[in-house]
Structure formats: C-alpha cells, structure tokens
Amino acid sequence: MLIPTTSSSALLLLLLSFICLGSWANLFKLTGTRWRFELFYFDFAIGVLALAVIAAYTLGSSGELAFSDRMLVAGRTEQAWVVLAGLIFNLGNMLLVAAISLVGMSLAFPISAATALLIWSCFDLRANNAALLSIGILLMLLAVLLGASAGLKREQRGRENPNKRALHKQGSRKSTKGVIAGILGGIALGLCFPIAAGSMDPEYGLGPYAGILLFGIGIFLSTIVFGVYFMRIAIEGGSLRFNDYLRGKWQKHILGWAGGVVFLAGALAAAVISAAPSTSGISPAGRFIVPLASVLLAMLWGIAAWKDLKGLPASGRLLVAFMAVSFAGGLVAIGFAVTG
C-alpha cells in the first residue's frame, strides 16, 4: 500500500483532507431544497463505496503489503469493529446532513463536530496533558451551547415580525430540530472513532486502505436501513417512498455520487496521513487537528456561499463568531493534549 514518506506528499494529502472534508456538503446544497437529504444520501453511499473499492484495489494493492494482506494480519474481529464503526458513523453523518438541511452548514458542522469531540475526549481522559484536555473539553462544550443558542435565535426574528407568526413558528421548529439532529449526530460520530481507532493501526491493524474499504462497506450497508427509516419518519416534510429516489433527475444523482467521492477522498487522505511515518515531517498534533479543522472551512462555505446567517439577528451572528473561536481553541487544546 502507498504511504507518503516525504514532507511535500504528506502536506498535499493533509491539504486534500482539509479541503474535501470541509467541502463535500456543498454538493448536497447544490441539489436544491426539493431534493431531500434522505434521497441524496443513497447516492452519497454509492460514491463512498465506489471510491473505497477503487482505492483499495489500486493504491492499496501497491507496495510491500497489500490491503488484502492487511485484512489477514488484522483478523476477523478487527474487521468487524471497523464495519461497526462505519455503521455508527453513518448514523451520525446522516443526522449531520439532516441538520444541514434544517439550519445550514455554518451551524450543523460545528455543533456536530464539537459534540463528537466531547464524546471522543471522554475516552482519552488519561491523556498526556489532562489540564489541556480539560480546557479543550470546556471550550467544545461552550461551542455546542453557543451553536445551539445561535440556532434558536431565529425565534427572535419572528417576534420582531408579528405579521409572520406562521412562518416564525415553522422556522423555530426547523431550528430546534436542526440543533437536536446536530447534537445526536455528534454523539454517534464521537462513538465511532474510539471503536475504529485500534483496528486501523498501520502496523498491526488494518491500515488505511483496508480500514477505509470496510468503513465504506459499513456506510453503504447501513444506508439501506437508515435511509428507509428516515424516509418514513420524515424529519423535514412528509414521508418519502423509494420511487421518489428513482424519479430524481440524473443531475441530482451525480451530485450525490460526487459528494460521497469527495468525502471519502478526504477521509482516506486523513487515514493515510495518520499512518505515515515520522519522517514525513507532519507532527501528530497536525495530523489530528488539520482534518478536523475542515469544520471551520464548512462554516465559511455556509456563510459565504449559502448565506446561512441571513435569517439570524446580529446577536445570533455574534454567537456564531464566538462559536467558531471556541471550537478552534478547543480543537487545538484537545489535539495537543491527546498527541503530545
């Protein structure tokens, strides 16, 4: 399998993970408001699995130890753990996409990611720097609270426009559902990483290519179950049938496939970077922080490209700014605490 050994190739992969993980949701937004997240996600899962298979049988089959050999080295138990992690991650990511459809990228991403890091940090309470980890946990908790408050600030706009009470009531419900979906999604995302971490070890575990392949299989298989469930409960709008997916225009399907490919490219780049030797010149803290800093890029996309803050009063926008600062500070603190 191919692993970067030079600083330039490692930096390029690190940049790729940052851009892809922070940008894939734009393809969901491009599908438009009428193409629900449940329908988008079927194509997203196909794109994830397709690139995972291609990467495993090309890049993962080159070099000294192919991905198939890695599976034999790791064993069935580790394989099962990674598939389970993909299933749990997929539940969290579907809730994240639901939150994006309700409150936008600028709120959904930091709320879910901060919650995930809070959950993840609970598994690393014996970190090398407990004081720094505690600071990071507090900052992430603050980021979640600020994000939730900003989402609920949409209610203030309704109070200032008493002639639009019905619109206000509908917007308030969407904001509340979006915040709840983001937090629940973050809990699932936070649980999946400790489950997969040991099995993805580059020396004795599955390594990046075999791990990502099994992770993608978990995402694809669970989408069949979770997708049907979300279509029935209808977080936003009425219930859907599978015929609604089949009647979608080809442009919508292409955007969904592309979204899965872009996401998986970012996830694979991050996994390969984590397996790179120390001679690559990327510090452990950098490998941890930069891919997760893609949340800030997603926020920028939401604010600049999709005008997520248009419905927020000035006080709500200020809360979003403080949330971004709190998330960035918490990410740096947790990154250095768990890798230092």
- Single-letter amino acid code for the residue at 86: G
**156 — pLDDT class (breaks 50, 70, 90):** low
Average pLDDT, rounded, for the chain: 89
Per-residue pLDDT at 85 exceeds 70:
yes
Per-residue pLDDT at 165 exceeds 60:
no
Least confident of 5-14, 130-139, 177-186, 198-207: 198-207
Measured CA to CA in angstroms, residue 272 lies from 161, 268, 285 at distances of 52, 6, 15
Cβ distance 211 to 194 under 8 Å? no
Closest among 327, 311, 304, 301 to 150, alpha carbons compared: 311
Domain extents for the chain?
16-339
**1 — pLDDT class (breaks 50, 70, 90):** low
Q: What is the pLDDT of residues 29-80, one digit of tens each?
A: 999 988 999 999 999 999 999 999 999 999 888 766 777 887 877 888 889 9
Q: What is the pLDDT of residue 157?
A: 57
Percent of the chain with pLDDT over 90: 67
Cα(227)–Cα(219) distance, rounded to whole angstroms? Answer: 11
Q: What is the pLDDT of residue 160?
A: 53
Cα(196)–Cα(216) distance, rounded to whole angstroms? Answer: 13
Phi, psi of 26 (to 5 degrees): -60, -30
Closest among 2, 9, 37 to 236, alpha carbons compared: 37
Contacts of 107 (CB under 8 A, 6+ apart): 99, 147, 150, 151, 178, 179, 182, 302, 308, 320
Q: What is the pLDDT of residues 114-146, one digit of tens each?
A: 999 999 988 866 667 888 999 999 999 999 999
Q: Please identify which residue in the block is written with the tokens 């901060």.
A: 114
Other beta carbons within 10 angstroms of residue 337's beta carbon come to 23
Cα(196)–Cα(193) distance, rounded to whole angstroms? Answer: 5
Contacts of 103 (CB under 8 A, 6+ apart): 151, 174, 175, 178, 179, 182, 308
Mean pLDDT across 314-333: 96
Q: What is the pLDDT of residues 283-301, one digit of tens each?
A: 999 999 999 999 999 999 9
- And the tokens for 71? 């599976």
Q: What is the pLDDT of residue 167?
A: 46
Cα(321)–Cα(148) distance, rounded to whole angstroms? Answer: 13
Mean pLDDT across 13-24: 97
**Burial label, 97 (beta-carbon count in 10 A; 0-12, 13-18, 19+):** buried
